[in-house]
Amino acid sequence: MERLFPGKHAPDLLVHCLSGHGGRDADAYRITYVETLRNLLAVLHPRFCVFTGSTSVYPQNDGGVVTEESPTGGTPTGDVLLEAERLALGAGGAVVRLGGIYGPGRTRFIEAARTGAPTSGDPDGFINFIHRDDAAAALHHVGRLSLGGIWNAVDDRPVRRAELAEAIRNGSPLPDVAADSDRRIPVTGKRVANRKLRAAGWTPRYPTVIDALDAVSEKS
């Protein structure tokens, strides 16, 4: 690997942001996330690193609020992501756990909702999204300020899939989660909180998917 980065030692910032297109099982994840990050850290010795993680490491499925302090792990791929997280944190870096990314080129849920087609997952389960540009801004914010530790990067409104789909289809506001959260049983999914990252100065440009619909439509 040193031949790939001649003279590129000790950069100010390394952002490890890869996709698991090589496979979705634990072995593929280990190559993509753990081994790649380990090699980059060993060769480049960055002054600060940011690992792009996922809120999928949270196993909660009871509709509860999830923070950076909530329990994690319990699935083969989730445990591999946590292994990669430990590498970044052990190097004094940061982990940004992203929700489901949408935006230009990633509009499957939005297009399904607009046409009334079924969306994947439990319709009454909570889902956590973040716009592509807000995800990039979160990584930039954490890296620029060298904010070590773990950070959840999601938008402001975890919402049930069916309610989000209905709001997209009808062009209506999202319903009040607080008024609805205890009424419907069973409650599934999780509501990932972004309070810590917001308190550190990051603000999503698109607080909800509804706020981004015009922008997504223009660029799709």
For every residue of the chain, DSSP letters joined together read: -GGGSTT--S-S-EEE----TT-SSHHHHIIIIIIHHHHHHHHH--SSEEEEEEGGG----SS-EE-TTS----SHHHHHHHHHHHHHHHTT-EEEEE-EEEBTTB-HHHHHHHHT---SS-TTSEE-EEEHHHHHHHHHHHHHTT--EEEEE--S--EEHHHHHHHHHHT-PPP-HHHHTTTSSS--S-EE--HHHHHTT---S-SSHHHHHHHHHHH-
Q: Where are the domains of the chain?
A: 9-219
pTM: predicted TM-score of the whole model, two decimal places = 0.92
- For 9-219, CATH number? 3.40.50.720
220 residues of the chain, pLDDT tens digit each? 555 566 567 899 999 999 866 677 899 999 999 999 999 999 999 999 999 999 999 999 999 999 999 999 999 999 999 999 999 999 999 999 999 999 999 999 999 999 999 888 899 999 999 999 999 999 999 999 999 999 999 999 999 999 999 999 998 988 876 655 555 566 799 999 999 999 999 999 999 999 999 888 765 5
